[in-house]
Amino acid sequence: MNDLRGRRIVLGVTGGIAAYKAVEVCRRLVDAGAEVVPVLTRGALRMVGETTFSALAGNRARTSLFDDPDPIPHTRLGQSADAIVVAPATARILADLRSGRSGDLLTATVMASRAPLVLAPAMHTEMWEQAAIQENVRILAERGAVVVGPDEGRLAGGDVGAGRLAAPAVIVEAVRRVLGPRDLEGRRVLVTAGGTREPIDAVRFVGNRSSGKQGHALAAEAAARGAEVVLVTTRPDTAPPGVRVVPVETAAEMHDACVLEAPACDMVVMAAAVADFRPVAPAAGKLKKTDGVPRVELEPTVDILAALGAAKRPGQILVGFAAETDELVAHAREKLARKKLDWIVANDVSKPSVGFEHDTNEVVLLGADGTRHDVALTDKREIARAVFDTALGRPPTRPTTQEHE
């Protein structure tokens, strides 16, 4: 996924024990297509090696304000940066940035830049809870810095508490948010994800192979664009950061959650794989093999998408999904009309690397006005980007064909 391609990111690394995790932040930024320029403080060099960052970034790690070939390195770096990330952000760097003290290359670079600033604090709990540090973080956030974490967890020395560096994936997601389009700012978006589980007994269920990956990618993309996101999911354990998660398991639970949340939402994206049938009378306990082969009678589940289509208010955008194995466009177009959708995202899950459980997808976007966009095989976050671009009236950036049917 190269959603940060062409972006120049200054990655500031300071002298906290969590500096080793900045190596993974660097790798993920590069994998996302960014040009990364590592800037390591003197304290950071006691924790990690500049060669590691130079090799991963493909750019020489910068360590000094005065021993650099460039006579004004902080100005060049600050002016050319699309974003500056400081991970970990120690108590010292937070105080320096709050007060405007530029005592090294990193702080001078931040002061010489108008680029968005992402700060990922990391320190022991006692330090993090100090009133002075809390005040520094609050003021930096009020000035526009994006503060990521810290999390609670195991810290250096073996104790547990608040102050653990946010996960590298979460830090990189924050960079995506500050650099992505904010075209969903002020809007509320409902996304469903995962496959429902309809109980047969206390331990068995009727289900499907949906991993929730596409729905979670949609939720992450909506949040990155500034939306307030409600994610109704059967896989809350893998939900992206920055969204409100409503965990559900069955089709009935998902229906109730969606009916409750949808009226207040400007856009509803139904990516979940909802079971069409459920057992009529699930057993309260575990069915025993010694009792013989059970008879499982099925009944239809509630049609969530049709219910939302019937209740759709003026101006609300409703997007459905259709996972098919044959006659993809014909089935999807019929579903689009019957359920009163604005858009439907259709994919042929019989194709290699498409749909359930994969990190990639290939889709056809069909609009109620007859518009069609085909998006070639790509990662699911890119698919999510295409879905929102299309729903907001812009053609996706990776279509193979665009036509009006």
> What is the tens place of the pLDDT at every residue in 107-150?
999 999 988 999 999 998 888 988 999 999 988 888 888 889 88
Instruction: Summarize the confidence of residues 269-289 as an average pLDDT.
Output: 91
301-326 pLDDT tens trace: 999 999 999 999 999 999 999 888 88
CATH of the domain at 370: 3.40.50.10300
pLDDT class of 2 with cuts at 50, 70, 90: low
Residue with the larger pLDDT of the pair 175 and 152: 175
Mean pLDDT of 251-269: 96
Question: Per-residue confidence at 403, pLDDT binned at 50, 70, 90?
Answer: very low
Assess whether pLDDT exceeds 50 at residue 401: no
Cis peptide before 88 (omega within 30 of 0): yes
DSSP β-bridge partners for residue 348: 324
Among 155, 179, 203, where does a domain finish? 179
Condensed to tens digits (0 to 9), the pLDDT of residues 158-216 reads 787 788 899 998 899 889 888 877 889 899 999 999 999 999 988 889 888 889 999 99
Q: Identify the band that residue 152 occupies on the pLDDT scale cut at 50, 70 and 90.
A: confident
The per-residue pLDDT for range 15-36, each reduced to its tens digit, is: 988 999 999 999 999 998 899 9
- Residue positions annotated with a catalytic role: 208
What span, in angstroms and rounded, lies between the C-alpha atoms of 367 and 378?
Answer: 21
The pLDDT, as a whole number, for residue 327 is 86
Same domain, 372 and 319: yes
Let me know: does 10 contact 30? Beta carbons within 8 Å.
no
Amino acid 1: pLDDT: 56
Q: Which of 228, 199, 194, 230 is nearest to 213 (CA)?
A: 194
What is the model's pLDDT at position 395? 62
Task: Return the pLDDT at 9.
Answer: 93
Tokens coding 312:
């759709």
Torsion of CA 308, 312, 318, 321, to 10 degrees: 20
Q: Classify 121 as helix, strand or coil.
A: strand
> Mean of the pLDDT values across residues 237-254?
93
| pLDDT per residue as tens digits for the range 353-398 | 887 778 889 999 999 999 899 998 888 888 998 999 999 987 655 4
Which domain covers residue 323, as residue numbers? 188-404
Q: Within 10 A of 397 (CB to CB), how many other CB atoms are there?
A: 10
Other CB atoms within 10 A of residue 276 CB: 14
The answer to whether residues 225 and 372 belong to one domain is yes
Note whether residue 83 is domain-resident: yes
pLDDT of residue 156: 73
Residues 82/117, Cβ–Cβ less than 8 Å: no
User: Which of 137, 162, 179 is the C-terminal boundary of a domain?
Assistant: 179
The CATH number linked to 67 is 3.40.50.1950
Q: In this structure, what token pair is assigned to residue 148?
A: 């990521």
Residue 103, pLDDT > 90, answer no
Contact (Cβ atoms closer than 8 angstroms) between residue 386 and residue 372: no
**Which two structure tokens, joined as six digits, stand for 308?**
């939302």
Q: Are residues 272 and 307 in the same domain?
A: yes
Is 3 domain-assigned? no
Better-scored residue on pLDDT, 6 or 68: 6
Sign, CA dihedral 274-276-282-286, equals: negative
**Average pLDDT score over the chain:** 89
